[in-house]
Amino acid sequence: MLRYLTSAVVTVLLISACSEPVEVVMTPAPQDLSQVAVGKWILDENGNVMFDPQTSGLVAMEGMLVTVSDASADATQQLKLHRISPETATLAASSERFTYSQSVRRSCFFSYLNEEPDLEALAVDPRDPNVIYTVTEDATRTGALSPRCESKYEDTGSTDYPTLLIKLTRKDNAAIEMSGVRPLQFPVEFEVGNFPNDGIEGLAMASDGTLYLALEKDKAAQPRIFSLNIDDAFFASSDFATVSEPKLQLPSFTSGNHPINGLAVYTHSTGEHYLMGAARNDNELWVIDTSGSKATKRIPITFDVAKDSGCDQYTMDNASMEGLVSMNDTLWIINDPWEKNYLKNATCEAHRGRYEDLAPLLFSLKISEAWFE
C-alpha cells in the first residue's frame, strides 16, 4: 500500500513477471491530511429518496444548497434546479422545468437544450445572486446542427458538437429561465482532444467575474482548468468564447484517469483565493491556489454513510463525489450515483433499495486551516 508522503514527487515501480517495471509519477503526492466525510441520504418531507437525479454540481443560494441533473437522470428530474436544506439533507423543492429566452430559442442550440441537454456543474454569479451558470458536456446524443450552424461552430478545438456555457436567470415568479447560451472554443495548442463524455465537469466563479472551468481530461489524460471573463456583454454575442488557461499548479499523472468532477471558489481569511476541486476517481479534495504560487494539496477523503434506524455507520465502496461548495466553515459535497458501481455500496441490506434508486447523499466536512498551509 502506498504511504502518503509530503514530498513533491512519488515514484512507484509496478513489476510483473512478464513486463518491465512501469514508472508511475504523481506530482504532488497526496497529503497526510486524510478526512472522513459522513453523508446523509437526501430525503423529501415524506422520507422518500431522490429517484435517479444524477446530481451534477452544487452551489449555495440564500442558505440553501442547489443542484442540477444531467442527461442520464430520470426524465422527471431534468431541466430543473433542486433545493436542499444543508442542516437536514431535506429536499425542499424542485423548480418547474426551465423556460427559454427568445435569444436561446433563436440560437443554433435550442433543439438540443429543449430536449435532454447534458448539464454539468453550477456556478452562482457573486455579482448577481439571481444568475447561475451551467455547462453542457456530452451532446453526441443529439441530432446534427443545421448546415449553417455546423459550418459556423465546427472549429471547437475539442468535440464535434461545441461545449455550451449557459446562463440561468431566476425570475420574479421563481421560474428559472435559460436566458443565454454561448459555445466555447479551446485553442488548438491546448490539445484538449475529442472526448465528448470527459469534458467540462466543474464551474466556479470569482468575485471579479472570472469563471473557472474544470476539464475531466485532455489528450494526455490530464485534468485541466480553464477560465473565461464574464462581463455584461458576454451573452450578447453568438460567436465562440475562447477559453484561457490560468497558470495553476495542478497535479499531473503518468497513468490512469484523474478527473475533476466539481469546483468551488474559497476565499481564506488571509484574502488568498483557492479553488476546491472534487477529484472523484481518487476520492480526494484538491485545494488549488489561484495565484499559482503553491502546489495543489491532495487531501484523501473516506465517504461514510451516517447511522440510521436501519444501518450502522459504514464506509462506501464508491461515492463518486460530483459537486461541492463552502458555507461558512463547512464544505458540502454531493455525489452523483454511478450506476455501474453504486450497488457495490449496498453492504447494509436496509439501504439496498436506495442504491437501486440511484439516490444521492449529502456529505459535510469542516474546513481545516491545514489545507492552506
Q: Give the domains, in start order, of the chain with CATH numbers.
A: 1-30 (no CATH), 32-372 (2.115.10)
* Residues of the chain falling short of pLDDT 50: 1-25
Contact 183, 242 (CB under 8 A): no
Quickly list DSSP for 135-165: EE---TTSPPPPHHHHHHT---SS-SSPPEE
Q: What is the per-residue pLDDT for 71?
A: 94
Q: What is the per-residue pLDDT for 27?
A: 65
Residue 40 bridge partners (DSSP): 362
Beta pairing, strands 252-253 & 200-205: unpaired
Q: How far is CA 237 from CA 128, 135, 137, in A?
A: 20, 17, 21
Q: What is the per-residue pLDDT for 30?
A: 75
Query: In this structure, what C-alpha cell is assigned to residue 208?
Result: 471579479
Measured CA to CA, the distance from residue 95 to residue 171 in angstroms comes to 12
Buried residues in 187-218 as b, exposed as e (16+ CB within 10 A) = eeebebbebbebbbbbbbbbeeebbbbbbbbb
pTM: 0.92
Q: What is the per-residue pLDDT for 5?
A: 35
CA proximity to 90, closest of 55, 56, 49: 49
